[in-house]
Amino acid sequence: MTDSKKVEFIERVSKSILGLEGLQIVVYCDRNRFKNLSKEEKKQCTFLELGKKMLSQIDGKYIKEKYNIKNGTEFGNKLHEERVKWIKEN
């Protein structure tokens, strides 16, 4: 999954009824499969903390302060761009 797709996934799930916490529970419920994952694969399943950090650190306030732009297409593009950058660095 590309970094851009990861951001889109986290954003979409966080806005859904299930939410990030709910999806994390679903991932952990498949205990047999989870037990057999490698350490690196288990690390990838813990997107909850990563997603929460990204959404709280790179939010509308951050974009408004950094770029001095209001809501709109440019704002949405910058928000996505900054979140992808954050994912790559973390």
Task: Check pLDDT > 80 for residue 40.
Answer: no
**Cα dihedral sign for 66, 71, 74, 79?**
positive
Chain segment 62-88, per-residue pLDDT in tens: 999 999 988 889 999 999 999 999 999
The pLDDT value given to residue 56 = 96
Whether the Cβ atoms of residue 79 and residue 57 lie closer than 8 Å to each other = no
Q: Report CA Rg, the chain.
A: 15
Could you tell me where the DSSP H helices lie in the chain?
A: 3-15, 19-29, 31-35, 39-45, 47-57, 60-67, 73-89
The identity of residue 32, as a single letter, is N
Domain positions in the chain are 3-89
